[in-house]
Amino acid sequence: MRSCHEYQQLGMKRNGLYTIDPDGVNTGEPPFLVHCDFRSGTTRVYHDSTEPTSIPMCNSPDCFQHRIGYNTSLQQLVNLMDLSQSCTQSIKFGCDLAPLEDDDVDYGTWINRNGEKEIYFVGSNSGTHMCSCALTNTCADPAYNCNCDAQFHDMFHDLGTITDMSALPITGFNYYGLQRDDELVSFCFINNIIYAMLLKLPLCRPTFRMVL
């Protein structure tokens, strides 16, 4: 089966682990295990970066680099995205005195599926540094587009959801480095990959919403 949608078309109703092969059975990349939720219409694909990761002291550009390990190849993720109507992935960045951007220097960047650095942390805003708080005017300091950029001596978080399907999935996170002993940084990718099936048009090609 290429997707949870195809399992559902066969009458499967029990949520659980299933094997899918988005590029077709017995061709291309090998199949992989996912979690199908037939009630919500979602397919969950797993990765290894859901727990908070602390960033150690270092003081040169991109001295910290973390790469995400998915339970399938990047090509298979792209194949599944080709069946998808939309795709999202969430990231949470925790900080104490440590910015994502400061004086036009990009301290924190995530890596898109093409290996390129991205500086936005919400929506589909490539090239514009911003976090979710900027959309709701709730940033810790209204002069900044992210809570962490204010560099307050307290624990803050920036949480955002990326929606640009041409950039996803996120493949890594880089950080410029901690300059002082009292700086603290952690990050994690909150959700695994989730594809949501839309079954209103059963005669059409299956469509999905993907959440990483």
CB atoms within 10 A of CB 59: 10
Selected residue with higher pLDDT from 210 and 122: 122
What pLDDT shows up at residue 176? 85
20-56 pLDDT, tens digit each: 999 998 889 999 998 888 888 878 888 888 888 888 8
Nearest-5° angle of CA 111, CA 117, CA 121?
75
Cα 145 to its chain centre, rounded Å, is 19
What pLDDT shows up at residue 143? 97
54-70 pLDDT, tens digit each: 888 878 889 899 999 99
Contact present, 175 and 102 (Cβ < 8 Å): no
151-209 pLDDT, tens digit each: 998 889 998 889 898 999 999 999 986 665 555 666 776 555 444 543 322 222 334 44
Query: Of 146, 135, 137, nearest to 100 (Cα)?
Result: 146
Distance in angstroms (rounded) separating the CA atoms of residues 71 and 30: 11
Q: How many residues does the chain have?
A: 212
Give the chain's domain count: 1
Cα 180 to its chain centre, rounded Å, is 28
| Predicted confidence band of residue 5 (pLDDT cuts 50, 70, 90) | confident
Gyration radius from the chain CA atoms: 19
Selected residue with higher pLDDT from 7 and 195: 7
Q: Which domain holds residue 155?
A: 4-211
Contact present, 80 and 87 (Cβ < 8 Å): no
Distance in angstroms (rounded) separating the CA atoms of residues 147 and 117: 20
State the amino acid at position 18 in one-letter form: Y
CATH number for the domain harbouring residue 201: 2.60.120
